[in-house]
Structure 1
């Protein structure tokens, strides 16, 4: 799966990591619903760090269609809320 982090670029991410990322996504969704700004910020950073850790960067000169788009590290709670699907940022 190709994942884009807005403002950073793309990574190839194995489907085997989706379960772990979904746990962080669920936590992020709960923090957004409760209005927990500091928790939201920390979990967003943890989610993006996990994607960077597990993913393999796509070369800068290659532009592939992204199957998943994640917010930038400095995105606000409101900006992320606008990006959400029914299942959160990460499907599954």
Structure 2
């Protein structure tokens, strides 16, 4: 799966890594619902770090369609809330 982090680029991740990403996404959703800005920042950073750590970066000139788009690390709680579906940032 191709994952884009807004403002940074794209990473190719194996489907096997999505259990870890979904766990972080669930935590992020709970923190957003609670309005816990500090925990939200920490978990968003952990989610983006996991994508960077587990994925293989695609070249900047690659034009692959992104199957998942994640917010930039500096995105506000309100901006991320607008990106959410009922399942969070990551479907499933």
**TM-score normalised by length of structure 2:** 0.99
Structure 1 residue 69 and structure 2 residue 69: aligned? yes
Task: Provide the aligned C-alpha RMSD in A.
Answer: 0.4
**What SS is found at the alignment partner of 2:60?**
coil
Q: Distance in 2 between matches of 1:61 and 1:17?
A: 25
Aligned pairs for 1:1-92 within 5 A: 1-92=1-92
Following TM superposition, by how much is the alpha carbon of 1:68 offset from its aligned partner in structure 2, in angstroms?
Answer: 0.1
Q: Offset at 1:63?
A: 1.2
Structure 2 unaligned spans of 5+: none
Output the CA distance in 1 between the equivalents of 2:63 and 2:73: 21
TM-score between both structures, scaled by the size of structure 1:
0.99
Distance 1:28 1:61 in 2: 31
Moved over 4 A (4+): none
**Residue 61 (structure 1) shift:** 1.3
Unaligned runs of 5+ in 1: none
